[in-house]
Amino acid sequence: MSIWEYANPKKFMQTSGLLLPWVTGLAAIALVVGLIWGFFFTPADYRQGATVKIIFLHVPAALMAINGWLMMLVASLIWLIRRHHVSALSAKAAAPIGMTMTLIALVTGAIWGQPMWGTWWAWDPRLTSFMILFLFYLGYIALWHAIEDPDTAADLTSVLCMVGSVFAILSRYAVLFWNQGLHQGASLSMDKTQHISNVFWFPLIVCMGGFVLLFVALLLLRTRTEIRARRLQALLLRERMA
């Protein structure tokens, strides 16, 4: 059976209906375990003090903010190439989740920045590119809402997502060029020498898993809502025409 089967809305509704409780449960468990572990059972860092505990929200949220956009990009491509409605609707469903994740990363980062750098906000490239990502999400969502016809909206937002991705990457380099920053580099990668210590590493992994699952659960839920909205619209239209 090909994977495209799941692009059939009926099939998708069945499968996602089965999956949803499990994913939700796992997400809840992972999040609760990870956050409690991180919040209660990790020591304060010798340099950053207790603020290091923010990492368990900040980093997973940042991760999902970027992955959310990537997911939208892939879904948009699938829609443009194979015209599976579910994929367009899932892109629509993902946008608000991604935007919230971006917002969480920004807010926790800002709160963290206050004690660490002595300022809520600095025009560091990482932060700036997140702000820009936030703007891209805003524009994408606004475009979805502005267009009446669902297929046209799907087409246009897909094109915007693709063009936007190119410009988002360009902006990232532009911003890097513009200002070399304060923010720590990505030290998550395994081969880095300055790997953060295991005390923080393990709960962080759990939290990241939790955020991924949370994203998937919300995505399934919202995609189901979008599919239903689409069907509702079609039914109402039919009723009117009859």
Binding positions for another protein, 59-98, rule CB under 8 A: 61, 85, 96-97
The nearest distance, CB 115 to ligand HEM, in angstroms, is 8
Gyration radius of the chain over CA positions: 20
Report residue 78 as tokens. Answer: 């699938």
By CB under 6 A, the residues from 96 to 115 that bind ligand HEM are 105-106, 109-110, 112-113
Query: Judged by CB under 8 A, which of 4, 22, 173, 201 binds another protein?
Result: 173
Interface characters, 148-167, with another protein (x: CB under 8 A): xxxxx--xx--xx--xx--x
CB of 203: closest distance to ligand HEM in angstroms? Answer: 13
* Measured CA angle at 65 (ends 62, 68), to 5 deg: 145
Residue 76 or 108: the one with the smaller Cβ distance to another protein is 108
What does the buried/exposed string (b/e) look like for 82-91 if buried means 16 or more CB atoms within 10 Å of the residue's CB? eebbbbbbbb
Q: Are 223 and 58 in contact (CB under 8 A)?
A: no
Residues 6+ apart with CB under 8 A from 196: 187, 188, 204
CA gap 201, 205 in Å, rounded: 6
Contact letters for another protein, residues 21-60 (x by CB under 8 A):
--------------x---xxx--x----xxx-xx--xx--
Q: Residue 64, interface with ligand HEM (CB under 6 A)?
A: no
Min. distance of Cβ 109 from ligand HEM in angstroms? 2
User: In angstroms, rounded to a whole number, what is the distance separating the alpha carbons of residues 165 and 81?
Assistant: 17
Contacts (CB under 8 A) with another protein, residues 99-118 = 100, 103-104, 107-108, 110-112, 114-115
> Considering the rule CB under 8 A, would residue 201 count as an interface residue with another protein?
no
